[in-house]
Amino acid sequence: MSDTATIPLWDAIGALIDLGESPPVNANGDPILEQADPQIPGRRWPRFHRGVARNNSKGSAPPPGYFLLGMVNLTPAGGYNGETGEDGTVTVHCWAATPDDAERLYRWLHGLLHDQPIAVSGFGHPFGNLSKSGPTPDASGTAWQVIAVYTVDPEDA
């Protein structure tokens, strides 16, 4: 695997996910994202992870119900830098225990990000568009993801 790097766009999307109100709930009305960490009383799993999602104590993945921020599509010039005319794409993997919950995570994310201004430090407020693929199961069939593709419109950056 290639190394990933934190870039302003990741930070901006992560901040929005962190602050997003009315977090998504499943068909029973239970929260999909807000899960307690059984190993550390009082601690909750974060809503999103950057590039890699691991339970450090055991090396396993957290329980499904999180966003995993993906790679930026690199340009020959070295990747998204938020400057006018530069486009950039970030994938946000919506992992949940069922296909329906993964769809609900995506819909919540869509309301948060699609066609909304996003503050990328030092580069103004570009708008982004969200599209999706999935849901698809993981190799074990115990978790499902919808892949959200967030594309910054170079005309808006």
Q: Is 52 in the site for another protein (CB under 8 A)?
A: yes
> Between 22 and 58, whose beta carbon lies closer to another protein?
58
d(CA 114, CA 38): 34
Smallest separation, CB 7 to another protein (Å): 13
Among 17, 102, 147, 148, the residue binding another protein under the rule CB under 8 A is: 147
With CB under 8 A as the contact rule, the residue among 14, 80, 89, 148 that binds another protein is 89
Q: Alpha-carbon distance 34 to 101, whole Å? A: 13
Q: What's the min distance (Å) between Cβ of 38 and another protein?
A: 17
- Number of amino acids touching another protein (CB under 8 A): 29
Question: Please, which residues have CB within 8 angstroms of residue 80's CB and are 6 or more apart in sequence?
Answer: 7, 9, 72, 73, 86, 87, 88, 89, 152
- Amino acid at position 121, single letter: S
Which residue, among 151, 134, 152, has the nearest Cα to 143 in the 3D structure? 134
Taking the complex as a whole, the smallest distance from the CB of residue 85 to another protein amounts, in Å, to 12
**Cβ proximity to another protein, 22 vs 91, nearer residue:** 91
> Positive or negative CA dihedral for 121, 22, 91, 64?
positive
Using rule CB under 8 A, residue 121 touches another protein: no
Report in angstroms how near the CB of residue 150 gets to another protein at its nearest: 12
Closest distance of CB 155 from another protein, Å: 14
- Distance CA(53)–CA(108), nearest Å, equals 20
The candidate with the shortest Cα–Cα distance to 37, out of 66, 17, 76, is: 66
Catalog residues that contact another protein under the rule CB under 8 A: 1-2, 4, 51-54, 61, 64, 68-71, 73-76, 87, 89, 91, 93, 95, 136, 138-139, 143, 145, 147, 149
